Structure 1
Amino acid sequence: MFSIIEAAGWPIWPLILCSIAALALVIERAMSLRRPKVVPKGLVQEVLGVHRQGALNDDVLGKLAANSVFGTVLAAGLRTHQADRQADEAVLRQSFELAGRTAAHQLERYLNTLGTIATAAPLLGLLGTVVGMIEIFGAQAPGSGTNPAQLAHGISIALYNTAFGLIVAIPSLVAHRFFRGRVNGFLVDMEQDAETLLQHLLRSAPRGR
């Protein structure tokens, strides 16, 4: 492996750095985008039960916000409702939406970087191949003739960069699409559950106005 890297020349080193970065991002996103850390099953039902019992307080809301990404969204809406129990739908919905945008940004963190690596890796591989081809043909002395075996060997070495670029790009692209789909699914679940809590809060609001 080291001999291949050495033969491919300096253009392969940016690809190696991209592969390390892509692997680190995939591991980080795989750990962060687990359902229990984002949208735990049954969380909104538990919150509805606690709210019906009248047991919501700052301590409970703090634990809810620390529970998961979706917990922070629910806690934001509940804090707005606790501050003004007669808050109308527009105020509550805005509270949920602002917290939801923050949560979406948190879920999408590093995905653009992973997508950039998936796009740039083949180009870096192609660049390495072009540089290698230039060096191969530039090393041929005019009038000395061409050794086909030597030329074929040099071209195969130059193509290492293209192959390595694809090896980095394909898994990165698959991971990017996979995590993007998972984030979109989480956001849909969060939106639906937040709407359920919002309608519950509106029904339970006092009719003093």
Structure 2
Amino acid sequence: MDIADRLAALESFFACSPAEAGKLSDAMAFVTYHHKDILAHQGDVGAKLWLVLEGRAQLQIIGIDGQTKLLAAHGPGELFGAFPHERLVISDVVVQNRLSVLEITTAKMTALLQEEARIGSGLSKILGRQYNAVLDRMAARITLTANGRIYAELLHEAGDDGRISPPPVIAALALTAQTTRETGSRAINALERRGIIRRDDEQLEIISKSLLEELVV
């Protein structure tokens, strides 16, 4: 990502001025992580924040039954990590596919917020959107079938253009939807057979968004 794209992304995410985006950019490092990289382990002392530009990170915990459970997932435009102070990490932070982020220490972000009120306002909007997304996922876990949760996650990850590139890892998608890899695989295969989605090594494309939306039950 070149500096112009980086500044444009920060202006958009934080709804701030070019000068304020410049201050954020100077304080943040652009980092790319690979599939299954671990940004933090449960029990570590967290002292960083990550702003997602591309890809997805999952916060995974081990349940009392010994199975891996998804606590949360963060995609483009979302912020996660230790804030407003350093704190113990309550889950493993695991990369899904690949992940490009802007990384900043908690201390630097806190200092910036004290200097620039508009950055703080933008941050509150980001966190507000994430709060609503968490509530949506909680509601889906209660009200939707396993297949319905898979399809809802596809719609969420694909966004307005209906594409996910690279295509989602089925095991990770199933974990996000709180179901098994086998269930996720059957659900995706059923969509392919019906021509609702198309996927290859480069991307997954939703061919009929309306038909997919009808299956979110």
TM-score where L is the length of structure 2: 0.26
Structure with the bigger percentage of helix: 1
TM-score where L is the length of structure 1: 0.27
Larger RCO, structure (CA 8 Å, separation 6 or more): 1
Structure with the bigger percentage of strand: 2
